[in-house]
């Protein structure tokens, strides 16, 4: 940072999180190398410990990491959280004013992720899509179980799973499908890049990811809505900040397979409802989650950070007995 600041003057420095060199620079910041600092909060370590059990509460990693994180948060001139859920947790856990945290929900490229031809949205078989890490906390096993229970009503139903992750879990999912003789209704797509993702969303009847807990708003929800695809998500965490229950999709309690079955059945069974939800999701993205709206939110946060930084610098200068403009 020192070398960079010798070569250029920064109006604001945005650290992706406390470990992205933020902690070290903030401890070393003085009037002579001062620049306004904003720290992003994507998922505080303490939040992961509380809701997911990692890292373990009494582990050295948790103690040291939480100390570093809390110090960085308190020394920052500005804070951005990618959800109100994270902002509320951070304020409560680290004892900072909630008003000092700007909620900056992530944005999506609404041109790349957009609805396609309506005729292309009529697959030969009902299609449910899951995109994300294949991990227990993402709820993908619940999605598969729901699909298996819906086969009697929708014999041609198909689950597409796009993503990589826990090899053991993926094998368990494959074995579960094979045990029921239903391997043909599950397609493992592997990792799909951003070029290929929009087409998956466009061709799906519904996107389903009832995660046990998502601290922030997962990109997959807003990508699906941008493509006009209804969403089934969990009531836990920040998903409700993106998915409007009954309007752009349906929210279900985490780990509730029966609720997931009912939600998927409701959407798959009513074509008009799917259309209305898809259109409402696209409007929500255009009105709030599109990239130009996101850029305005982040620029506003930068401006507030610079305004908050100046009084702190002046207090620092006065305490150090040095002048400054």
Per-residue pLDDT for 121 more than 60?
A: no
| 86 and 216 Cβ atoms separated by less than 8 Å | yes
Note whether 158 and 189 are within 8 A (CB).
no
How far is Cα 239 from Cα 136, in angstroms, rounded to an integer? Answer: 17
What is the arithmetic mean of pLDDT over 224-251?
98
Per the structure block, which two tokens stand in for 310?
């100046």
Quote the crossing angle between the two packed helices 271-284 and 219-226, to the nearest 10°. 110
| Domains of the chain: residue spans and CATH | 2-107+291-320 (3.40.50.2000), 118-289 (3.40.50.2000)
At residue 324, the pLDDT reads: 56
The torsion angles phi and psi of 228, rounded to 5 degrees, stand at 75, 30
Q: What integer is the mean pLDDT of 75-95?
A: 97
pTM (2 decimals)? 0.93
Supply angle C-alpha 42, 45, 49, rounded to 5: 125
Residue 120: is its pLDDT beyond 80? no
pLDDT tens track for 141-193? 999 999 999 999 999 999 999 999 878 999 999 998 888 777 889 999 999 99
Q: What is the pLDDT of residues 190-236, one digit of tens each?
A: 999 999 999 999 999 999 999 999 999 999 999 999 999 999 999 99
Asked if the model's pLDDT at residue 119 lies above 70, the reply is: no
CB distance 15 to 63 below 8 Å: no
pLDDT tens across 282-320, in order?
999 999 999 999 999 999 999 999 999 999 999 988 987
CA distance 190 to 207: 16
Res. 267 pLDDT band, cuts 50 70 90: very high
- pLDDT above 70 as % of the chain: 97
């Amino acid at each position: 940072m020192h070398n960079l600041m010798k070569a250029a003057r920064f109006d604001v420095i945005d650290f992706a999180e406390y470990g992205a060199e933020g902690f070290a620079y903030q401890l070393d910041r003085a009037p002579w190398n001062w620049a306004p600092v904003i720290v992003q909060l994507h998922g505080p370590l303490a939040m992961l410990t509380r809701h997911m059990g990692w890292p373990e509460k009494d582990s050295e990693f948790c103690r040291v990491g939480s100390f570093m994180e809390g110090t960085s948060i308190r020394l920052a001139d500005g804070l951005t959280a990618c959800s109100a859920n994270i902002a509320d947790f951070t304020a409560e856990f680290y004892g900072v004013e909630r008003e000092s945290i700007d909620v900056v929900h992530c944005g999506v490229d609404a041109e790349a992720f957009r609805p396609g031809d309506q005729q292309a949205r009529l697959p030969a078989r009902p299609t449910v899509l899951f995109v994300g890490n294949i991990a227990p906390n993402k709820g993908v096993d619940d999605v598969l179980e729901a699909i298996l229970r819906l086969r009697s009503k929708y014999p041609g139903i198909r689950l597409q799973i796009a993503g990589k992750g826990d090899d053991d879990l993926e094998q368990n999912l494959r074995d579960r499908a094979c045990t029921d003789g239903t391997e043909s209704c599950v397609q493992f797509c592997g990792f799909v890049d951003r070029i290929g993702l929009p087409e998956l969303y466009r061709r799906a009847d519904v996107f389903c990811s009832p995660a046990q807990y998502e601290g922030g708003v997962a990109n997959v929800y807003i990508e699906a809505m941008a493509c006009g695809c209804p969403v089934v998500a969990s009531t836990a965490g920040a998903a409700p900040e993106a998915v409007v229950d009954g309007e752009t999709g349906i929210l279900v309690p985490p780990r509730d397979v029966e609720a997931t079955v009912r939600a998927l059945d409701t959407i798959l069974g009513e074509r008009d409802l799917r259309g209305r939800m898809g259109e409402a999701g696209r409007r929500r993205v255009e009105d709030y989650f599109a990239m130009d709206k996101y850029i305005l939110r982040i620029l506003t946060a930068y401006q507030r950070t610079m305004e908050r930084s100046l009084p702190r610098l002046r207090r620092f200068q006065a305490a150090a007995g040095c002048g400054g403009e």
